[in-house]
Structure 1
Amino acid sequence: MNRGIFALQQVARRTFCGSARRPVENQVPKNQKLFQEDNGIPVHLKGGTTDALLYRATMTLTVLGAAYVVYELLKAASPQKKA
């Protein structure tokens, strides 16, 4: 029983202690320069191709969702056929 607790303590100590595996470079100044540049591109598209794809996918889903809602509202508002 005590061995299990001791092993758990060692694993926890190793997880939270120790040096970083590799130094992390600060990306904030580079991103600030990119996003504050006045080049006529909207800020939500300045991230590149990924931002453009995410924007288009979001707009497509929004338009399709709105069209579906209108369809369901019209379907609910129309009188039902009596069988």
Structure 2
Amino acid sequence: KEWNALQQVARRTITSSARRERNRVPEKQKLFQEDNGLPVHLKGGATDALLYRATMGLTVFGTGYVLYELWKASFPQKKD
């Protein structure tokens, strides 16, 4: 009897603690499969565009900085 009661309490705790959210997968599938001329990494909206631009900006800045450091390292300063 104790084991059965313990199972019921555990089952009730697990099933009642989970939120019931609706399945948004079909909505997302429709959004990302729509043929609207946008690349898939921008179909999510303004947030995707912002993240894309930030990533590209950091990439360009990082590449420029690495090239600058390589140039600086290839022409060392003369010590007096």
TM-score where L is the length of structure 2? 0.78
- Give 4+ residue runs of structure 1 displaced > 3 Å after superposition: none
| Deviation string, structure 1 residues 6-53 (Cα, Å, up to 9, x no partner) | xxxxxxx6xx63504641110100000000000101110000000000
Q: Which amino acid aligns with 2:79?
A: K
- Separation in structure 2 between the aligned mates of residue 79 and residue 20 of structure 1, nearest angstrom: 64
- Separation in structure 1 between the aligned mates of residue 20 and residue 31 of structure 2, nearest angstrom: 23
- Separation in structure 1 between the aligned mates of residue 52 and residue 76 of structure 2, nearest angstrom: 38
- Separation in structure 2 between the aligned mates of residue 34 and residue 60 of structure 1, nearest angstrom: 27
Root mean square deviation of aligned Cα: 1.6
Residue number in structure 1 paired with 2:76: 79
Q: Secondary structure at the match of 2:65?
A: helix
Q: Which amino acid aligns with 1:60?
A: G
Note the residue ranges of structure 1 that are not aligned, 5 or more in a row: 1-12
Give 1:79 shift.
3.0
- Separation in structure 1 between the aligned mates of residue 33 and residue 63 of structure 2, nearest angstrom: 33
- Separation in structure 1 between the aligned mates of residue 15 and residue 42 of structure 2, nearest angstrom: 39
Q: Secondary structure at the match of 1:17?
A: helix
Q: Secondary structure at the match of 1:38?
A: coil
Task: Say if 2:47 is the partner of 1:50.
Answer: yes
| CA 19–74 in structure 1, closer or farther in 2 if over 3 Å, else same | same
